[in-house]
């Protein structure tokens, strides 16, 4: 299981405002290239994001499902990423004096990626999720600054 932790200079509520907006998903999730649709009640558990991964012309249509939503503390998602299977993504946010700390855990939950040696999968996910959390902070801070002005 890959675990990535990052201190963010924004509040847990600002982080969850980004997570609750399906239309910015491709902005902060590394590998997501576009959002095709989102269930109307996103992020209620059971709701789906219909997104694409990859770079044109090698783009695959996939989806992400909310399994648990406890804003502004925790969200659990299941991301379908063909052809490698499904990944469980757990994002936990804790308030700190100058912002928050985000812990992102990700691991293969189904499909052939489960059979790849764990250290290889974890290393690749950690690199990707380091950038993902950096982007999440940029979006959260940018939205907060825009709302403040």
Residue pLDDT, tens place only, 1-24: 899 999 999 999 999 999 999 999
Q: Is the pLDDT of residue 84 over 80?
A: no
Lowest mean pLDDT segment, chosen from 9-18, 70-79, 140-149: 140-149
- What confidence score (pLDDT) does residue 30 get? 93
Answer yes or no: is 28 within a domain: no
126 C-beta neighbours (distance < 10 Å), count: 14
What CA–CA distances, in Å, run from 146 to 14, 43, 90, 133, 149?
12, 23, 28, 20, 5
Answer yes or no: is 112 within a domain: yes
Answer yes or no: is 111 within a domain: yes
Answer yes or no: is 33 within a domain: no
Mean pLDDT of the chain: 93
Model pLDDT for residues 33-58, shown as the tens digit of each residue:
999 999 999 999 999 999 998 888 88
What's the pTM? 0.93
- What confidence score (pLDDT) does residue 5 get? 98
Q: Which domain holds residue 142?
A: 2-19+64-148
Are 8 and 136 in contact by the 8 Å Cβ rule? The answer is yes
Answer yes or no: is 40 within a domain: no
Q: How confident is the model at residue 111 (pLDDT cuts 50, 70, 90)?
A: confident
Are 49 and 61 in contact by the 8 Å Cβ rule? The answer is no
In CATH, what number is assigned to the domain containing residue 122?
3.30.530.20
Residue 25: helix, strand or coil by DSSP? helix
- What confidence score (pLDDT) does residue 7 get? 97
Answer yes or no: is 93 within a domain: yes
Q: How confident is the model at residue 137 (pLDDT cuts 50, 70, 90)?
A: very high
Answer yes or no: is 41 within a domain: no
Domain total of the chain: 1
Q: Is the pLDDT of residue 116 over 90?
A: no
Q: Is the pLDDT of residue 26 over 80?
A: yes
Answer yes or no: is 68 within a domain: yes
């Amino acid at each position: 299981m890959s675990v990535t932790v990052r201190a963010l200079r924004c509040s847990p509520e600002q982080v969850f405002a980004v997570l609750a907006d399906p239309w910015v998903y491709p902005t902060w999730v590394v590998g997501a290239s576009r959002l095709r649709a989102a269930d109307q009640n996103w992020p209620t558990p059971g709701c789906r994001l219909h997104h694409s991964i990859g770079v044109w012309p090698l783009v695959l249509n996939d989806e992400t499902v909310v399994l648990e939503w406890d804003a502004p503390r925790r969200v659990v998602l299941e991301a379908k990423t063909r052809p490698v299977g499904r990944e469980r993504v757990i994002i936990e946010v804790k308030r700190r004096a100058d912002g928050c700390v985000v812990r992102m855990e990700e691991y293969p939950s189904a499909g052939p990626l489960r059979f790849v040696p764990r250290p290889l999968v974890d290393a690749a996910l950690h690199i990707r999720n380091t950038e993902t959390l950096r982007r999440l902070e940029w979006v959260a801070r940018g939205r907060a600054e825009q709302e403040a002005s």
